Structure 1
Amino acid sequence: MTGPGDAAVLDDPVAASLHGHHAHLARRLGGAVTYVPDVATFSAVSAGPGAAAWGDLAELLGGDAFADMFSCPVLPPPQWSPVFVLEGRQMIWTGVDDPGLLGAAPDHGVVELGAEHVPDMLALVERTRPGPFRARTRELGTYLGLHDGGTLVAMAGERLRPPGWTEISAVCTAPEARGRGCAARLIRALVTRIVARGERPFLHVAEANTGAIALYERLGFTTRRQVTFRGFRTP
């Protein structure tokens, strides 16, 4: 289990993931790095002085292309056009002594989602809009789901992987299955898996999503810091 001092890698989790656990899913040029297409949209640049890294990223992505900078702590040169700004928060799991999450009996209704489930995963994402999710996003980590009558009605999975940490993401439930505790079941299952391999769970949530924030707090997550998510278009 990582200690509190290891949380500094969460200040730029995209770069920490792409230079570490997800290096095999990265495209790099100079001071810029981004995920390969169809896996994730996120990019990162080195925080050194000057605009060289932003030029590297523009070359990687191409002209007039979308640059999803997640919570990148540095801003691009003025010729980069803003696309969106979203206020959110980063939450880390601190429920180490919660017997409701660790040591509980396995939830046999929760299944691991494989390549054969991708069409169903994409269909659920289309209906629920949990955030960026592409055809190869499941390659970032383990994704779990719940079915009802053979239909995938809820899922959640692992996304960013800074050293010692795993982000829980893509938490979504079909409208007809809401109110059944699906999200809580999936998050508990993921937390158990992540902690069992000696890592610590964290996640990101939009500040306006107060219902999700309340759920995460009940499940042992606390706010580490406020973040601002940004997207731009390259020159």
Structure 2
Amino acid sequence: MRELTRTAEVVDASADDDLIVWAAQGMKPGVRAWAAGDAVVVASPRASRRDRLAVHGGTAHATRLVRHALAEVGPAFRPFGDLHLVRELSDTMDELEFSGNFSWMVTTAPPPAPDVVQDAEWLTPDEEPDVTDLLKAANPDSYAVPGIPEVRRWAGIRDTTGELLAVAADAWSAPTVGLLAGVATAVQARGRGLGERICRFVTQALLAEHDRAALMVNDENDAAIGLYERLGYARRLVAAAADTRLA
């Protein structure tokens, strides 16, 4: 087992796995990572508002690494990785309990050209109160909200009267994996393709800067998954587990 201290080491150990590389967050202060055999774990504090322990590799080596990492960083970090691996870890380790599955989606190709003129734009900090109001009404469970340092910038679409109708954020992006988050469309404006337009705009920006764009979405949200697939995102089934010692 060895501790990884540089992004390049994480990239090499994980074969540039996008989920692992995103969790490494450029190995900013507070992030720690380890590798053993075919497995890698990255302890990433407050990554998309959760203390996440991203894990990749075979169950045998991953089990050893997860136990070591949790002893180092504490039980608040939640193992997070491919669905089958997290299920196996939860079955193997008495201290882990499977807590839920969702999807990680990623793309490296620009989305198809829009059918309408692009009307999304980056918002200024002075416009963030409008973002807050829209999220409260349209997506109150959003992890990305204005005022969090890791939420870098917001894009929006306004109507001709200036009302904000759709938003999405560039949030918790890593050097080579940008993250799309905080997507919301005003209730009265749904069904007009605004969500797709705002996500296309942010996706294009993330790809230009980071080469890969990713997002997380609930598996029950078929409409959102379909939207992201139309933009070129590929779906990866993932899950999280929780340390039972926190109960």
TM-score normalized by structure 2?
0.66
Q: CA deviation at 1:190?
A: 1.4
Task: State the alpha-carbon separation in 2 of the partners of residues 182 and 138 from structure 1.
Answer: 26
Counterparts of 1:70 and 1:180, CA distance in 2: 38
For residues 217 and 200 of structure 2, the distance between their equivalents in structure 1, rounded to whole angstroms, comes to 17
User: Which one-letter code corresponds to 1:124 in the other structure?
Assistant: L
1:8 alignment partner in structure 2: 17
Equivalent positions of 1:193-232 (< 5 A) are 193-197=205-209, 199-223=211-235, 225-229=236-240
Report the equivalent of 1:159. Answer: 171
CA 1:178–1:231 in structure 2 vs 1: closer, same or farther (change >3 Å)? farther
1:90 aligns with 104
TM-score by length of 1: 0.68
The Cα shift of 1:117 comes to: 2.5
CA contact (8 A) 1:165 1:199 kept: yes
Higher RCO structure, 1 or 2 (CA under 8 Å, sep 6+): 1
Inter-partner Cα distance in structure 2 for 1:53 and 1:100: 45
SS class of match (1:141): strand
Give the whole-Å Cα distance in 1 for the aligned partners of 2:17 and 2:150.
Answer: 25
Shift of 1:172: 0.8
**Secondary structure at 1:211 match in 2:** helix
Cα separation, partners in 2 of 1:90 and 1:230, compared to 1, 3 Å: same
**Runs (5+) with no aligned partner, structure 1:** 59-66
Name the CA distance, whole Å, in 1 between partners of 2:121 and 2:237: 33
- RMSD in angstroms over aligned alpha carbons? 3.7
Question: Secondary structure in 1 aligned to 2:239?
Answer: strand
Structure 2 unaligned regions, length at least 5: 1-13, 34-41, 56-64
One-letter code of the match for 2:80? Answer: S
In structure 2, the residue matched to 1:43 is 51
1:187 aligned to 2:199?
Answer: yes
CA offsets 1:107-164 (integer angstroms, 9 cap, x no match) = 2x32212322232222222212252134423643332011233332210112232342
* Secondary structure of 1:13's aligned partner: helix
Question: For 1:94 and 1:171, how far apart are their aligned partners in 2?
Answer: 20
Deviation at 1:99, TM superposition (A): 5.0
